[in-house]
Structure 1
């Protein structure tokens, strides 16, 4: 044990270090704010903001629209423009963690960088309450997420030594917190936005972010200290050849990971627009808010995150548990099955001239949640474990590039929803996820040993302790 990791006997929070509880609850409220805003974003743009005269009130929008047109070519379609803006925003929030990792590793340290990110995000959510500040709000949210997201995940990884087998479970618990926030976000922020007023929903998201900051500040004393920042004139630690090879392999996995989560990331964009128009959302004679589908997805995701933790523990008691690449492979193939449910439901509706039965969406969310539980927390745990300690913050930032790429692709593909039958649209997503599963399968057979704990090597500080 070192000062940078938790003791093996620190089990105050569900068998894990006390600090994990503060980090998980902070992340839960941060995700409440983020997904509360995101669940409303596309609907808000297509139903109000991008319509005249509201669009004329947005400061700087003519120049921004010219940029969107040059990059995405959405044309006159409001849905395509909204999809492009959504794709740009949600991709950049996963690009800026590289900047956040640099600030944490070289300038501010993780704790102060996380606090800065929380303050920026709070400002961004409250700025969303006004049409004129829409673009400034998005900028604050993009920069704030970059400072917050990667570094708080890095602090979770820093609670455990390389030989502490609780790390993978910790990230699944961390994702339980994320999904708890996502469940509440559409029910509160989404319902306020759709039923009372868009800006009330965005304001609720801002309050959630302030709660996240308060919880994080309350748990600071339980966090492991940040690694010392590099001093001027002191040589930066050099990476060993094996560490450079590990980083290259992790980078090579990014496009495959992006393809594997494409169906999940489309839920907040084209899926919501398609469901709003094409799915029968009537419950007891009343049309449910479209954003409640996000709550459904998150509730199912939380359930299967917990189920998968228990399942893999029971599996490991009798059989050899798959490594991270093995679980990623399983997740990608299950994702294919999930999106095929959407394609089937859409095909039946197209053939009969009716709306899509809601049960097809339920089946999609169940299968997608099983896939999610075996992809996102597992891949984050892989990067946190394999990252060389000298550049851990930057590597975690690099990890989020796969979500940058996925959301850019989501924005581009989302514009095709109006240009092809929905059944073909979802089959296209299934084919992409299938390709990712095949590549993961090959990587597992060829490179699994390269990413094993033995090949990556222990934390040098732990080895010296």
Structure 2
């Protein structure tokens, strides 16, 4: 599998995994770009919210914890719960893959569940059921398809693995770019539910691509278990898992900004940005395409730059790349804050400010997230790779909940103060990584080189 280099110098399986993820992300981001606006502008309004099965009980539970919630605050909390839980369930998906089913069956299961969830979004009554299907479908899919990317490469091939994940991220960005454009245009022309149905159709394309390439994909079967038990992790492997935690903390801080860009940022744009252009009024979901578009345009330059630096033995390590990504995410939120400050509380900001902000966050995401996945794929103990990737997505779970909670305070402060507070969060992650990256890398390398314990002697047969 690792010698099958027929796609940009990488194993052929990468193209099938990348295209599968592209269509899945097309559908996911197409739905997410509509979600908060749909809730604020229609679903949570009288005459609609009463139709949603279970919404009254859920709202009561949230208000019992957080106090009375406006429609915007409730939408932010629901968005945070959904955005967080989507990235908690990959732990379950990774555990099921590693222990019982393997990665391939779990990816297929995830695609089918997500397809059902997107179609369920077309009815007000099944809104919460749809979110549940999408949450568990993503859990089965996300960590396992990312683990399959890592399984295409030799364990010690850090540079090529990192670039492979960056190519994989390019296709994620292509899907994330197209999804909001298409679903936003359809929702504006024909209604919210047509936009939701459209992204469900795209999931059918995702499963067709994945099944077409299955002969080029890693087997992904669970590791053999003697007498029903897997060998315990070594001391070095356990230390490695602990040493990886600061990197995951930093990634969590970057993700909070990532979630806020399609949560509160959309609300601010709707209220305080002049959307009129010579070509007409820009649909707000289209701003969700600016971030991935920046990643698409910048990725070839980034790959070429890393390659040139590698030839001079100056390519940044994983931790350096992640730290740079954090700073770019902070810069994006600072640009939002600048636009909000210049507009004031009653004026309209130029469309240039959110555009520049999304460009920064798009490039920043490309710097830190695929590199984080490559880092975990390489450093995690081989027997629990899919599970470790699943735990990596917990950073998005924590960030989603945090973004939803923090977003509920948006109406209590000025927009510029809110966005400056958001900028400080990934800046703290960058400071953490730049402070510890050299000693942490040395400690991880020592653990990776540690010899495995010698098993007890057994009788040998020919």
Fold agreement, TM-score > 0.5: yes
Aligned to 2:24: 30
Cα 1:458–1:201 shift into 2, 3 Å: farther
How do 1:143-222 and structure 2 match up within 5 A?
A: 143-164=136-157, 165-222=159-216
**Cα RMSD for the two superposed structures:** 1.7
Cα 1:130–1:457 shift into 2, 3 Å: farther
Cα 1:151–1:457 shift into 2, 3 Å: farther
Matching of residue 448 in structure 1 with residue 433 in structure 2: no
Match of 1:405 among 377, 398, 405: 398
Cα 1:255–1:347 shift into 2, 3 Å: same
1:424-444 deviations in Å (ceiling 9; x for gaps): 001101111221111111221
How do 1:301-316 and structure 2 match up within 5 A?
A: 301-316=295-310
How far did residue 339 of structure 1 move? 1.4
How far did residue 408 of structure 1 move? 0.8
Cα 1:11–1:232 shift into 2, 3 Å: closer
TM-score by length of 1: 0.93
How far did residue 231 of structure 1 move? 4.7
For structure 2, the residue ranges without an aligned partner over 5 or more in a row are 453-462
Query: 2:179 & 2:451 partners in 1: Cα distance?
Result: 38
Matching of residue 366 in structure 1 with residue 359 in structure 2: yes
Aligned to 2:373: 380
Matching of residue 267 in structure 1 with residue 261 in structure 2: yes
Matching of residue 48 in structure 1 with residue 45 in structure 2: no
Cα 1:377–1:431 shift into 2, 3 Å: same
CA contact (8 A) 2:52 2:128 kept: yes
CA contact (8 A) 1:163 1:458 kept: no
CA contact (8 A) 1:72 1:412 kept: no
Cα 1:138–1:357 shift into 2, 3 Å: same
Matching of residue 6 in structure 1 with residue 2 in structure 2: yes
> Which segment drifts farther, 162-171 or 133-142?
162-171
Secondary structure of 1:447's aligned partner: helix
Cα 1:369–1:458 shift into 2, 3 Å: farther
Query: 2:311 & 2:225 partners in 1: Cα distance?
Result: 47
TM-score by length of 2: 0.94
Cα 1:225–1:297 shift into 2, 3 Å: same
1:284-321 deviations in Å (ceiling 9; x for gaps): 16211001111122111211222211111122223511
How do 1:18-417 and structure 2 match up within 5 A?
A: 18-73=12-67, 75-164=68-157, 165-231=159-225, 233-284=227-278, 286-350=280-344, 353-417=346-410
Query: 1:77 & 1:315 partners in 2: Cα distance?
Result: 51
Secondary structure of 1:12's aligned partner: strand
How far did residue 85 of structure 1 move? 0.1
Query: 2:136 & 2:247 partners in 1: Cα distance?
Result: 25
CA contact (8 A) 2:291 2:360 kept: no
Matching of residue 15 in structure 1 with residue 9 in structure 2: yes
> Which segment drifts farther, 306-315 or 63-72?
63-72
1:142-191 deviations in Å (ceiling 9; x for gaps): 00000000000000000001133421111001001101001110111121
Query: 1:295 & 1:401 partners in 2: Cα distance?
Result: 24
How far did residue 457 of structure 1 move? 4.1
Query: 1:43 & 1:225 partners in 2: Cα distance?
Result: 41
Secondary structure of 2:126's aligned partner: helix
Figure out how many residues of one structure are paired with residues of the other and give that number.
451
Cα 1:225–1:434 shift into 2, 3 Å: same
CA contact (8 A) 1:162 1:458 kept: no
> Which segment drifts farther, 195-204 or 358-367?
358-367
CA contact (8 A) 1:68 1:85 kept: no
Query: 1:281 & 1:214 partners in 2: Cα distance?
Result: 38
Query: 1:458 & 1:177 partners in 2: Cα distance?
Result: 36
How far did residue 364 of structure 1 move? 1.3
Secondary structure of 1:113's aligned partner: helix
For structure 1, the residue ranges without an aligned partner over 5 or more in a row are 461-465
